[in-house]
A and B are shown apart, each in its own frame.
Chain A
């Protein structure tokens, strides 16, 4: 029963092995890369593809609709949730300055990133705790940004 019989089985096992290989590269990248942001690329990225490959492989092998639907659901959840958690962690990582500045080629956020009003993980349209001062601060930042850019361009 556990033998590889058809072409489908060969494809499925190839998918499973490829997915497993991608999981290994995720581990290697996690260990080799220099800062949190690049490690997140390594940790979450080959896995989106790896998990998809493994789910497809397992679905081919299992041959039962019930299991196939559930694997489809897992793949869907993974595709929907992986970007959200990656974004939340990376945003906090950037604000906590877990970035090797000397390994960055370009940082376009830093030149305009003087945001002192929103600094945690709150959505940008969340009401600030002290609306008056926060608004004044935000407007002043925008003005400073514009002046900075004007200086830079002209």
Chain B
């Protein structure tokens, strides 16, 4: 303890606070460093910690607000259904590219979501984009509206099916990573319907 630190009691507290918020990032960077080396050793671990500290100090990121909790069962359901989706939609898109008739029409749809958390929306958008056949064009953060481009829809029923599948995916994400409040919001929100947007069919 130096005299400077004693006159500024906030510094230590702020540093600890910052360190706690950056901890997941630090752990992730250390893991990446060790994976890059390919072997686990104390030298790699120490080197990883030094590199992770340097990276977070030189290139600071805003902390993820709200925090998260991981529910093992929900995570398992999320990962399992994500893998099934990935394989089945991948096969479908691959078939659409090679079949003689090709694709018919695509659509751009807006989906009103029920969660209002940066982290959950990010996970949802990433998983929706990773699943073949749907891609996130835009996200209206204020209104929690996801704008999607979906490949090959034949009629309005297909559009509604895509919208419903995104909402199911949202539920899985929230049940895997959300807090109790956010899970409660999931069942409450259909009471507040999104005003119907004008359809424009060319």
The answer to whether A and B touch directly, with their CB atoms under 8 angstroms apart, is yes
Residues of B within 8 A of A106 (CB): 107-109, 153, 156, 159, 199-201
Residues of B within 8 A of A111 (CB): 197-200
Closest to A148 in B: B198
Number of A interface residues in the complex (CB < 8 A): 55
Residues of B within 8 A of A153 (CB): 195-196
Question: What 0/1 readout, one digit per residue, does chain A (59-89) give for beta carbons within 8 Å of chain B?
Answer: 0000001110110110000011011101100
Closest to B31 in A: A73
B151 touches A38 (CB 8 A): yes
Q: For the complex, give the distance between the alpha carbons of A106 and B110 in Å.
A: 10
Residues of A within 8 A of B98 (CB): 25, 28
> Which candidate, B3-11, B35-43, B45-53, B165-173, is the interface stretch facing chain A?
B35-43
Q: For the complex, give the distance between the alpha carbons of A153 and B108 in Å.
A: 20
Q: For the complex, give the distance between the alpha carbons of A116 and B149 in Å.
A: 21
Q: For the complex, give the distance between the alpha carbons of A106 and B197 in Å.
A: 11
Secondary structure type dominating chain A contacts: helix
B198 touches A94 (CB 8 A): no
Q: For the complex, give the distance between the alpha carbons of A120 and B103 in Å.
A: 29
Q: In chain A, residues 106-154, which have Cβ atoms closer than 8 Å to a Cβ of chain B?
A: 106-112, 124-125, 148-149, 152-153
Residues of A within 8 A of B199 (CB): 106, 108, 111
Closest to B39 in A: A66
B110 touches A67 (CB 8 A): no
- Can you list 27 pairs linking A and B with CB atoms under 8 Å apart? A22-B90, A25-B93, A25-B94, A28-B98, A29-B97, A32-B102, A37-B135, A42-B93, A42-B97, A45-B133, A46-B97, A65-B39, A66-B38, A66-B39, A69-B34, A83-B126, A83-B130, A90-B135, A103-B106, A104-B105, A106-B156, A107-B107, A108-B199, A109-B137, A109-B138, A124-B141, A153-B196
B contact residues vs A (CB 8 Å cutoff): 32, 34-36, 38-39, 86-87, 90, 93-94, 96-98, 102-103, 105-110, 125-126, 129-130, 132-133, 135-142, 147, 149, 151, 153-156, 159, 195-202
